[in-house]
Structure 1
Amino acid sequence: MITRRNLMTTGAAGATLATLGLPLRAQEEPLKVGFIYVGPIGDGGWTYQHDQGRLAVEAEFGDRVETLYQESVPEGADAERAITQMVLAGCKLIFTTSFGFMDATVAVAEKFPDVKFEHATGYKRLDNLATYDARFYEGRAVIGTIAGRMTKTNKIGYIASYPIPEVIQGINSAFIHARKVNPDVEMVVIWAYTWFDPAKEADAAQAMIEQGVDVIMQHTDSTAPQAAAQAAGNVFTFGQASDMAEFKPVPRIASIIDNWAPYYIKRVQAVLDGTWTSTHTWGGIGDGEVVIGEITEAVPDEVRAEAEALRDAIAAGEYHPFTGPLNKQDGTPWLAEGQVATDEELVSMNFYVEGMQGQIPS
C-alpha cells in the first residue's frame, strides 16, 4: 500500500507542486491537464491503461499541454484533497478515473466553475463536469462466450470489485453468453471489495480454483489472478482493462482492453479549441473504446471464430448483449423476445439474471 503519494508530473523536467503554480507568460503557457488515479500506474490493468491515454495526449499535443497525475488516491475525502491540489497546480482540465471519485469530483467542480472536469464511469454532471464510460459489458459477452466453450468443469469464476451497476452488468453479460454456448455452466462470484489489491485478488482466484473453477474472469485491476492461474495450471484467464500479454498464450487466452486515448485526445482538443461542453459519453466495441485483445492459439479455431463473429456483430450494432427473452434471477420477466435493454435500465442494474446463484451484496 502506498502511504506517501506525490503529485507527479511530466513535461517540465522535475517540476514540483510549488513551481507548477508559478505564472508563465500567456503565450508560453501550456494547457495543464490532470489525472487522478485509484491505483498505481504499474498495476497492469485499469490505471495503467488510463495512463497510456495520458501519454497519448502528450504525444499528440507536445508542448501545447503539460500533464500531471496522482496515483493510488483512495476513494473518499483523500480524493477531494487530491483533485483540489490539481486545481491549485493550475490544471484547467482534470480527469478523475474511478467511480468512487464521483462525489469528490462534484464537490471540487462546484468550488471551481472555471475548471473543466471529467469523471470516468459516473453519472453526476454539472456545466463544468462531464462523464465518460465504456460499455464493458459488450466485451464481457465476448469473453463469456469463450469461457463457456473453454471450461471443462462447467464452473467459471468472476472476481468482482464492488456491487455497482457497471460490475453487475459485466457479471450478467458474461453469464448470459457462457450459458448460450454451454447450458451447463455455473458461475462462482467472489466480491473482493477492492479495485486493486493483488493479495485479495490472488486469494479470490485461489478460492475459485479450489472450488473447481477452471476459467476466471475479473473486474479488478491487478495481474494477480493471472499469476495464480498460471501457478495452478489448466486454468484460463482473461486480461482485464489491458492486454496482460505477459501471461499469454496461457493462462491469458484473450482480454478486454480499455482504449481511452482517443477520448482523452478529443476532449483536450476541445478545451484547446474552446468548444468543450459537459457531455456524457458511453463508448463500446464499435467506437473502439472496448477492444478484444488477441485470442491466443490455446483457443480452438472454431471458438475464436465464434467469438470474433459476436464481437463484429456488436460493433456493427447488429446485436445487443442484453436482448430478450431474459428473466431476472427470481424468474420474473425482464426482457421479452427480441426486446433490448435500455441504457437507463443498464446504468441502474441491481439484479442478477435467471440462472445465477447467490445474492448481490447490499
Structure 2
Amino acid sequence: MKNELKNKLLAGGMCVAASFLLGAIPGIAEEKLKVGFVYPSPIGDNGWSYRHEVGRQDVIAHFGDKIETTFVESVPEGPDATRVITQLALTGHELIFTASFGFMEPTLQVAEKFPDVKFENNTGFKTAPNVSVYNARFHEGRVVFGTIAGAMTETNTIGYIASFPIPEVIMGINAFTLAAQKVNPDVEVKVVWVNTWYNPALEADAAQVLLDQGADIITQHTNSPAPCQRAEEAGVFCFGQDADMSQFAETAHLTGIVNNWGPYYISRVQDVLDGSWETNHTWDGISGGLVMMAPYNDALPDDIRTAAANVEKALKDGTLNPFSGPITNANGETVIDEGEALTDKQVHEMNWFVQGVDGELPS
C-alpha cells in the first residue's frame, strides 16, 4: 500500500507541477480556492516532504473540487524560495504553506508584498498579520526514542545525526538524551552535524562516523532513510524520522516519528473558505495528533515496549514534561532545579546541550 501511495503521489505531483508551469485554465481557477505548498526536499524523500505531501493529498480528498492545489518540491532555502513563493502568490494562490524553517524569512518578505494572501510557515517563529506559524513537538517522539535506546544499547554510545543548530533540533537531542539517561545513566549521545535537511550520501557518511565511534543505535534529525539503511547494513538499531521508515530497515528500525499534517492543513483551508482565518502560532505534539509513533519493532522486549507505551501515554495526557528538573547542562551547571520545568519560551530559545551529549554547538 505504501508503494502504491508513493506512486500516486509522484504521478499526481508531475501533473500538478506541470499545471503550475503552464498556468491555470481560464474560467476554472476563479471558482476554487487555490492553495500552494512549498517543500524543501523531494516528495520521494520518504520523510519530511513526503509526509507534507500526504497532508496535501488529505486536503484534496477532503475538499474535492472546492479547491485547487499546487506543490513545488526541492526548493532551496534563500532567494529561490522567495522566487517560488512569489510566483505562487502571483498566480492566484490565496493560501500558501511553506514547509521549512529556512523559508521563514522568504515567506515574511513575500507576505509583505501580498497582504491579501494568507501564508503559513512550518517550524518558524515569526508571524505577521497574514503569516501564521505551525510546528509540532517532535521532541516528544524523541522522549519515546530515548526511553527505548537507554534500555537497548549495549555500548552505552548512541549516535545522533543533526541537521542545523536551531532550537528545534537542539531540543530534540536534549529530550532524547534526558529520556535515555533516566533509563541508563551511563548513556552518552554523540552528535554529528551535517548542515543539511536532505542529503542521503552525507547522512549515510555521518552514520558511519558514529558507528566507528562505537554507537550501536543511530537516530537522526534529517529527512532521508539513509541513516537507517546504514544501520541495517551494520547490524545495529535505528529510529526513523518524519515517516515510518521500517521498510528500509526491517530489522534495525525500532520505531519512528510520523508527522501527521493532514488535519492541520484541512482546518486551515476550511478557515480560509469560511472567512475565519486568523494569524496564530500552533505547537501541538502527541496529544494534538500532529506527532505519532511508527509501530514498534517486534524485537523489542515486552518490558521495554511497555515502558515506551507508558511514556507515550504520559506525554499524551500531559503528565510528563520532557524538560522537568533537575537538568544539568554540558558544563555541569544546573539550569533547571528539581520541581521546576522549562517554559515553552525557554524551549524555543534552547541553545545549550544537557550533560551526556558529546558534541559541539556550531556558532
TM-score of the superposed pair, with normalisation by structure 1: 0.94
Are 1:327 and 2:337 matched, yes or no? no
Contact 1:10 1:68 in 2 (8 A): no
Deviation of 1:355 after TM superposition, in Å, equals 2.6
Unaligned runs of 5+ in 2: 1-11
Structure 2 Cα separation of the partners of residues 358 and 57 of structure 1: 41
Deviation of 1:244 after TM superposition, in Å, equals 1.0
Are 1:227 and 2:232 matched, yes or no? no
Deviation of 1:333 after TM superposition, in Å, equals 1.9
Structure 1 residues 87 and 13, CA gap change in structure 2 (3 angstroms): closer
Moved more, 203-212 or 33-42: 203-212
Structure 1 residues 254 and 176, CA gap change in structure 2 (3 angstroms): same
Partner residue, 2:69: 67
Residues 208-254 of structure 1, C-alpha deviations (whole Å, 9 max, x = no match): 11111010110000010111111111x10111000113035421110
Alignment equivalent of 1:31, drawn from 14, 30, 33: 33
Structure 2 Cα separation of the partners of residues 332 and 211 of structure 1: 27
Structure 2 Cα separation of the partners of residues 25 and 183 of structure 1: 59
Partner residue, 1:158: 160
Are 1:313 and 2:327 matched, yes or no? no
Partner residue, 2:110: 108
Moved more, 144-153 or 158-167: 144-153
Residue correspondence of structure 1 range 255-270 to structure 2 within 5 A: 255-270=256-271
Secondary structure at 1:15 match in 2: helix
Residues 184-208 of structure 1, C-alpha deviations (whole Å, 9 max, x = no match): 1111100010000000000001111
Cα RMSD (Å): 1.6
Deviation of 1:12 after TM superposition, in Å, equals 7.5
Partner residue, 2:346: 345
Residue correspondence of structure 1 range 162-241 to structure 2 within 5 A: 162-233=164-235, 235-241=236-242
Q: Which amino acid aligns with 1:340?
A: A
Structure 2 Cα separation of the partners of residues 315 and 301 of structure 1: 21
Residue correspondence of structure 1 range 85-104 to structure 2 within 5 A: 85-104=87-106
- How many residues end up aligned between the 2 structures? 352
Residues 254-295 of structure 1, C-alpha deviations (whole Å, 9 max, x = no match): 011111111000000000111000000000100011111111
Deviation of 1:358 after TM superposition, in Å, equals 2.8
Partner residue, 1:274: 275
Q: Which has the higher helix share?
A: 2
Partner residue, 2:3: none
Secondary structure at 1:34 match in 2: strand
Secondary structure at 2:45 match in 1: coil
User: What percentage of residue pairs aligned between the two structures are identical?
Assistant: 52
Secondary structure at 2:41 match in 1: coil
Secondary structure at 2:19 match in 1: coil
Are 1:15 and 2:19 matched, yes or no? yes
TM-score of the superposed pair, with normalisation by structure 2: 0.94
Structure 2 Cα separation of the partners of residues 354 and 208 of structure 1: 19
Contact 1:137 1:173 in 2 (8 A): yes
Q: Which amino acid aligns with 2:288?
A: D
Q: Which amino acid aligns with 1:262?
A: P
Structure 2 Cα separation of the partners of residues 209 and 84 of structure 1: 43
Structure 2 Cα separation of the partners of residues 12 and 51 of structure 1: 12
Q: Which amino acid aligns with 1:232?
A: A
Secondary structure at 2:238 match in 1: strand
Structure 1 residues 358 and 13, CA gap change in structure 2 (3 angstroms): closer
Q: Which amino acid aligns with 1:192?
A: V
Q: Which amino acid aligns with 2:143?
A: A
Secondary structure at 2:37 match in 1: strand
Partner residue, 1:143: 145
Q: Which amino acid aligns with 1:357?
A: D
Residues 64-95 of structure 1, C-alpha deviations (whole Å, 9 max, x = no match): 01110000000001000010111122110000
Are 1:251 and 2:255 matched, yes or no? no
